[in-house]
Chain A
């Protein structure tokens, strides 16, 4: 079972359609306990970091349990930011903290939100971005972003370089929307499905 967590941050129709096009059906768990049988967990989300508040408590514990049991994790957009320690957008809301660093607003030297297609600069080899060429363009829409750290597998630049994709073991995240990034995006979803099976 691939679990798509619906915590009320945005519409999930497009994410479902994207995974369906890549050949996978997503299940929305009703309770955190349902994650016990998950082979993978997708954390989507758009908007304010405050919106991740419902992911604290039981959800957080169940997600960490599932990871220990071998599940893979895929954070999309706000879901990537949530993998980190915190965000200056909502200082009192902790992230999952699997990846070190704090998300910050993109600089005001450029238009924010960052909306549109931007290029991926590969920083190291990655299973998530397997066969995705350096410079491939994907669709972003966000105002805050995670720092470029050792977990970063591709960066993008808007005002400053930020983490466009992260990967460590079976934990992945993308700041862009693979479900809205054309064939490149669908390939990234397929790569994640392959990572689950590996």
Chain B
């Protein structure tokens, strides 16, 4: 006897482009790209392979008080007809206006709402909750998940689960949860932390930090209860990493979107 599935919603695979001064900063070495570090070309490439969403993170923005580059967003969104989120240094409604006007569908906020949570409510009122992503950077401390702001440098004195629940209540439409412990290690996502946050909120949770193998994605979609998983460098290893990853997940029984 078979029962109808509760949902046919696919798990999303999201590519993060860390951008500084208009170029992707993590090593990108695909053949066939005219400019190796060009975010628009890289995004278009991922799009063809079947990436579900792209995040542009202006990595220098928070620390150097710079805004994400509107030109980069324009160039990427002109070639991309899938959702595009932009984060890094968005501290006000004016900052959000600038990136959305340039073509972003969502803004990702990290430090600013920790200092001023009401910003989330105002942005959700202006653009809808679907446009408001709260990025939470957290690390394990004394059995809790301690939130850090300003690119992981400043303790926010908040617990990730509690902050995620507050962000949801204030109008956030998604949570982008990054494990500081795992980020850059390629040792796998922090599935326990992801599951703790994902089970505490009704909004989707995007897991980030630690992707190294295809199995890590399977783990975070099953044990981690993630709705989406984000990675950067793993997709740079081979030309077909995105489509190969999706076939792997499909064969393992995870609902994904495959493009022909």
Contacts and interface: CB of A to CB of B under 8 A. Distances in A.
B103 A159 contact: no
Contacts of B52: 116-117
B78 interface: yes
Does more than half of chain B's interface fall in helix, strand or loop, or is it mixed? loop
A41 interface: no
A111 B128 CA distance: 17
B9 A118 contact: yes
B127 interface: yes
Nearest to B130: A141
Interface in B51-110: 52, 77-78, 81-83, 100-103, 105
A127 interface: no
A137 to B, nearest CB: 4
B47 interface: yes
Given A13-B101, A116-B12, A180 B129 contact: no
Contact of A116 (B77, B78, B228): B228
A79 interface: no
A137 B10 contact: yes
Interface stretch (A57-65, A66-74, A95-103, A181-189): A181-189
A182 B47 contact: yes
A115 interface: yes
B7 to A, nearest CB: 4
Nearest to A22: B81
A33 interface: no
A181 B259 CA distance: 11
Interface residues of B, number: 35
Contacts of A18: 81
B10 A179 contact: no
Interface string A109-123: 111111111110000
B5 interface: yes
Interface in A138-167: 139-142, 156-159
Contact of A11 (B127, B173, B203): B127
Contact of B103 (A17, A111, A118): A17
Contact of B129 (A113, A116, A156): A113
Contacts of A31: none
A125 interface: no
Interface of A: 9-11, 13-14, 17-18, 21, 46-48, 108-119, 137, 139-142, 156-159, 179-183, 185-186
6 contacts: A13-B77, A111-B202, A113-B129, A115-B130, A118-B8, A181-B82
